[in-house]
Each structure stands twice: as structure tokens, then as C-alpha cells.
Structure 1
Amino acid sequence: MKLQEIHSEAGAHIKSWNKVPRGAVGENVKETVVSNGDVMVRPVLKFEVVSARTVDQDNEKKHVAYTVMIRKDGLQPDPNPAVIERRYTDFLELYESLRREFPAQMARVTFPKKVLMGNFAPGVISRRSAGFESLLEHVTTEEKLRESKILAMFLQGREEHEARQWMEAQRYDQAIPLLENCFRLLNKLHTDRHPTVMLALCRLVACCSADPTATSAEHFADIALRRYEAVCDIDLLQFYVPLLQLCVRLWWSVGRDKRPLEARLEDLKRRGVKVDGCPTLLEALMAMDHL
């Protein structure tokens, strides 16, 4: 695969937002809960259109690209917000697809109408931004909508596709920012051990470990190991042995004690789990992506 064939706009946009000061965008949104006389703060998921830019390129029809920041704020602003950039037609497809598949849950949802002229006027952009935020906040409060493949494709399909292309080209340094953004985003939407979150985390660990310049492999590998302690999804367990084996090599390279991980692998082997001759975590994930 030629590197110039890979669409890199999503990755470049995500990298540009890495420099935004955390907590400097929008308001600190939180829900206060009183339990047994104690005041607790429950983090609240927030979608905010933080910028809009006009795209006028030779190979694309002129349009407005909206940057949506996804945060989960509590007592302090979310230190790791995620960002996506989408255009009006992307939001429209999300809305129409959800209405077709989940008419009851979408019955009362309105969507900004198309206009014949004035798509680039500040007033139109402002109204559309508010409509997009309301749509996403509604979708994520309804379980059926939140768990739908339609929403998953809207939120991460473009970035995940590009990351896979970079992985095929062995440009893991380019895939990592995309995969980390996907992981952060999905982890705000779902529980820590949700299958889509765990899969995104495994991809991130595999890429960080394959890139000699990455400094976060150990950090994300630690997170993955802790979360796997309570995972029972059979489809995810296929990655557990490769993850352990990756961590054994990683722990050794950074001077950490790898014996507990080796003992865990030996225990799995005694219980009849295949340990020897397994593909690496990266190989297992890429094989799954090609099915």
C-alpha cells in the first residue's frame, strides 16, 4: 500500500486538538447526586461543537466541517476529551439511519433542515451546531441507540478505517493518535469493559508496542491487564494470551518483574488454554480485521 493513498485528514485534525488546554473549552458540566446526606458528583457526558471551518478543495464539494468535542466532566474538566470532525451530511445520515431502525426512540427528535442558500452563514452554522449537540446527547441517553452499530460507525468508523490503513502500512506512529482518540471516545460512552472499548484498547496497546518511538505502551498495557481480570466475553478472550505474552516482553524490556505474568500464562496452560504458538496481539487483531 502506498502511503500517499492513505487519507490522513482525520489524524491531522486529532493531532491539532492535542494542544488545546484541557478544561479551557466549554463549561464544566456535572450532575449532583445526594445519597445518605452526602453530595456526590456524577460525571456527565457532553457533546460540544467547538469549531466549524469551511472546506473548499478541488476534490470535494464546498462544505462546513464541524469539530465535536466529547467530554465526561466531573468535579474537574475531563483531562482527556476526544474529538471528531463531521459535516452536515454525516449528521443527516446518522439521524435518518436511526429513525429507520429505531422509530420509537427517535420519534420526538428534530433535525436542522437543509437550506437552499446560506449554508455558510454564521446563524445557520450556529443553529446546526446546537441541533447536532442535541441529537448526540439524545442518542447517548437511549440504550438501544447508544449500543447501535449506526452510532459506532458515525463516531469512530472514519478514524478506525484510517488507523487500519496505517497499520497495514506499518506506520504505527500515525495510527496511534487515531486509536487513542477512538479508545478515549468509546470509554466515555460505554463501561470500561465493554467489548468495543476493550477491542479499541487492545488495538492501541498493539500499535504502541510496535512503534519504537511510542512512550505509552506500558501505560495502556497496564490498563488492559487490569480490565481483563473481569472480562468474560468469549470473543475478547482470544486476545488475552497474546496480550499477556506482549506484556511479558514489555515488562522485561523496561525492567519490571515479569514472573507474575509468566505464572498466569502457565496457569492458563494447565487449564487447557493454548499458549504456545499463538499469534502476536497485533497479528491476531489484523487477522480479525480481515475476516
Structure 2
Amino acid sequence: MASKLMDRLRRTLFKEGEVVSKEPIDVTEESFPESSELEDDTECLSERLGGTLCFDGESALESEDPGEASGPDSDSDYLGESIEDGFSSTDTSPVGPSPGGSSLLTRQLQDSWRSLRFRSVPQKLVFEVTDASVVQESSSKYVLYTIHLIQSGMFDETPAAITRRYTDFKRLHSCLRRRHRDNMERVGFPRKKLRKNFVAETIAKRSRAFEQYLTHMHSLAELRRSPTFLEFFYLGDLQAGQMLMRVGRYQEALGPLLNGLRLQEKLGCEEQGKQQPHHQQGTHWLFTLLALVTCFQELEQLGEAQEHCDRALRDLAPSPEALQQHHFHPLLIPLLQTNVRLSWKISKDKRQWEVLLQEIQDSGADTGNQPSLKEYLIKEALVESEGDTKAKLKREKAT
């Protein structure tokens, strides 16, 4: 389209055999019907490439003018660096230099930009209030906040969300102050008002305050690993899934269980579970995986059941020394037996886990009369860590 426009403009300004006129030529949009289309394309292009994409919440622009943005988060900076690297270095291009010295193809340029962006932008967990609705229940009235946990610095394919009210946040704050007094000494909390608690302005201010509050808690290493802080996010989903499993509503239980799994993944509970499988967070992490195994198995989704079963086994697989001393998780044997059956049904390689099961048998461990996973899941008491602490104190006083 651009070449046609230039030819038409050239014929208009320089007719064959004539001298250029000194009078200005009024070029209207009607003379060039494609000019408006060209302007629209240019405007769209400028909108797509303009502005700054900021993946780090701590780096804010000093000026409102997007043209002054020159930090590493700018889209144009990333694109410019990728183009420069593509023209000057053969290492960036996956195909190397071509005989004609051509530049990177569009797809290769995009791949190079993505890889550069993911290397340059640090990932962090973002807490964002995406909805706040007023709920009226009989004589009570409250605001329900929906908070999404998003992994920044990348395209988050597994979003996770929670819904909490003001009293839930207040209870979390009180528990953290009791258990982490030093870290919580200077942390403020939005007070409850006697009036105007349900007006838009108050709700908006509290939404931003809750975002900042959770971000600050997560930025402190001690609080980030605190069971009180972690269970605030995922424990309710696990309890809801367990209640639905107890009455045989496995399809409905999948929703809260999968959301609970994604929340634990984002909060780093998986790593804590691997390091301390008998710790509270390790127990909750294992419960979530085994609950999903059971639900998918009951719903005849054997591939998904085996996938989560395999994932749990990778966390529980004992070392050779622990195996000889019979120091392994009590659910390892029924989990191995379940995985072998599921792998056989879906024609998946199961030799690795069959070998481990045989080694356990050879070590003298009893592999018969093992409790079923469903029995364990139904009987497991999912309580908060603070409740466990109180129960232990009562038992210690009694003895």
C-alpha cells in the first residue's frame, strides 16, 4: 500500500516532461483514499510500542511523559537490544548468519526478545484486589474482597485467587502480631469505621491497603514462611475440598483443591514440603496432592490421577540409607501401590516405582494391610498451626 501511495504521489508532483511548479500543491485526503488507512495503521503501531511495561512495582516513573522512560522495563529498550544483538552477533540468532547477511526473521526476533525479557525481569508475587462486593446475609453486611496472586515477570498460566472479608484480615493481623512481634511492631492496619464502611471510596482505599499489607508481609522472610501467613491463603480451600470428598462430591471438590494447590505453589509451600515433609506445610502439601489423586481416580481421569501421584512420590522418595532403616513416610507404600496400578492402566512406564516397592519389601517392611489413601484423606484433621500449638501445650500441661 505504501509503494502505491508513493508512485501516485510521484506522478502527481513530477509529471513526465514538465517542470516542477513552485506553487504549493494542496494534497487532500480525498486525493489519496488510502492515506486514512495508513494513518490508522501508524496510530495502532504507536499505541502498541508506546509507553512502558513495568514488571517491578518498586520502580516508578518520575515523569508522566512516557517518552522519558529509559529504564530496563521499557518495551522499546528490550526490542532495541534484541534487534541490535541480532544484527551484530551470530550467537543470538538460532540459525547463524545467512549467506546474504539477512537479519533475524520475525519469529526468531520475538523468541530472542522473550528470552532476553525473562532473563532480565525478576519474578515476584503480586497481590491484586480484582473485585470487592457488598454481601448482605440476614442481619449481617460485609464487603468480600477477591485477591488474585499473580507471578509477575512472566505470563502466569495458573492464576490463583482467594476471597476474604475485613474480619479475616484483622484476624490474620492479630495472629501475626502475637507470633511475630518484632516484625509486626511498625506494621499498620486500616481501622474499621463507624460510618461509611460500604461507600466506594472506603472500599477502594481498603483494597489498596490490603494489597500493600500482603506485599509487605511477603517481603519479610520470616513472615513469608510463617504457617499463619501461608494458611491464611490455602487452608480454607483444603478444608472445603475435604468436606466435599467426605460426602462423595468429587467433581465439586476439584475446584477448591486445584486452587489450593496453585496457591501453595506460588507461596513456596512445595519447597518447604520437600525439605520438611513432616512439618505442617509438608503435611498440607502432601494432603493436596493425594486428594487430587483420589478425586481424579474416582472420576476416571486416570492420567491426571497418575500425574499427581507421581509428583507426590518424587517428594517422598527416600534415600537408600533411610530405606534400609525403614525411615520413610507411612503413606509411601500405599502411594507406590496406587501409582503402579494407575501406570499399568494408562500404559505408562512404572518400572522405577516397582523397583522401589520391591526394595521396600526386601528390606523386611510389611507392604500388606496398608491404609487406603481415601481413608487417610477423610480422617486427616486439617487445623491451623496455632490450634496445633495450643493442643500441644494442653497435652504438655496434662502430663
* TM-score computed with the length of structure 1 as normaliser: 0.78
Q: Does the 8 Å contact 2:144/2:163 carry over to 1?
A: yes
How big is each residue's C-alpha offset from its partner over 1:1-29, in whole Å with a ceiling of 9 and x where there is no partner?
Answer: xxxxxxxxxxxxxxxxxxxxxxxxxx874
Q: What letter corresponds to residue 344 of structure 2 in structure 1?
A: W
Q: Does 1:273 align with 2:365?
A: yes
Match of 2:306 in 1: 218
Residues of 1 paired with 2:234 and 2:328: CA distance?
19
Larger RCO: 1 or 2 (CA < 8 Å, sep 6+): 1
Q: Does 1:245 align with 2:245?
A: no
Q: Match of 2:167, SS?
A: helix
Q: Does 1:170 align with 2:262?
A: no
Q: Match of 1:120, SS?
A: coil
Match of 1:48 among 128, 140, 149: 128
Match of 1:68 in 2: 147
Quote the offset at 1:236 in angstroms: 7.9
Q: What letter corresponds to residue 308 of structure 2 in structure 1?
A: F
Q: Does the 8 Å contact 2:217/2:223 carry over to 1?
A: yes
Quote the offset at 1:206 in angstroms: 2.6
> 234-243 or 46-55, which moves further after superposition?
234-243
Residues of 2 paired with 1:256 and 1:270: CA distance?
24
Residues of 2 paired with 1:155 and 1:253: CA distance?
36
Instruction: Give 1 or 2 for the bigger CA radius of gyration.
Output: 2
Q: What letter corresponds to residue 278 of structure 1 in structure 2?
A: Q
Q: Match of 1:77, SS?
A: coil
Q: Does the 8 Å contact 1:187/1:197 carry over to 2?
A: no
Q: Percent same amino acid at aligned positions?
A: 32
- Larger helix proportion of the pair: 2
How big is each residue's C-alpha offset from its partner over 1:140-175, in whole Å with a ceiling of 9 and x where there is no partner?
Answer: 222332333322332123222221111111111111
Residues of 2 paired with 1:235 and 1:40: CA distance?
43
Quote the offset at 1:99 in angstroms: 1.2
Residues of 2 paired with 1:173 and 1:218: CA distance?
17
Residues of 1 paired with 2:360 and 2:241: CA distance?
32
After TM superposition, list the pairs within 5 Å mapping 1:1-291 onto structure 2: 29=55, 39-58=119-138, 61-74=140-153, 76-193=154-271, 194=273, 195=282, 196-212=284-300, 216-229=304-317, 237-289=329-381
Q: Match of 1:167, SS?
A: helix
Q: Match of 2:188, SS?
A: coil
Q: Does the 8 Å contact 1:54/1:64 carry over to 2?
A: yes
- Larger strand proportion of the pair: 1
Q: What letter corresponds to residue 136 of structure 1 in structure 2?
A: L
How big is each residue's C-alpha offset from its partner over 1:170-218, in whole Å with a ceiling of 9 and x where there is no partner?
Answer: 1111111111111110111125342143332232223222333576323
Structure 1 stretches of 4+ moved >6 Å: none
Q: What letter corresponds to residue 366 of structure 2 in structure 1?
A: K
Residues of 2 paired with 1:137 and 1:274: CA distance?
48
Residues of 2 paired with 1:79 and 1:290: CA distance?
28
Q: Match of 2:352, SS?
A: helix
Q: Match of 1:116, SS?
A: coil
Match of 1:12 in 2: none
> 175-184 or 137-146, which moves further after superposition?
137-146
Match of 1:6 in 2: none
Residues of 1 paired with 2:238 and 2:327: CA distance?
19
Q: What letter corresponds to residue 100 of structure 1 in structure 2?
A: R
Q: Match of 2:123, SS?
A: strand
Q: What letter corresponds to residue 205 of structure 1 in structure 2?
A: V
* TM-score computed with the length of structure 2 as normaliser: 0.58
Q: Match of 1:163, SS?
A: helix
Q: Does the 8 Å contact 1:241/1:265 carry over to 2?
A: yes
Quote the offset at 1:248 in angstroms: 1.0
How big is each residue's C-alpha offset from its partner over 1:217-258, in whole Å with a ceiling of 9 and x where there is no partner?
Answer: 2332333233334798x9982222222111111111212233
CA RMSD of aligned residues (A): 2.9
Residues of 2 paired with 1:90 and 1:203: CA distance?
26
Match of 1:17 in 2: none
Unaligned stretches of 5+ residues in structure 1: 1-26, 33-37
Quote the offset at 1:270 in angstroms: 1.6
Q: For residues 275 and 41 of structure 1, do their structure 2 counterparts lie closer, same or farther at Cα, with a shift above 3 Å needed?
A: farther
Q: Does the 8 Å contact 1:246/1:280 carry over to 2?
A: no
Q: Match of 2:196, SS?
A: coil
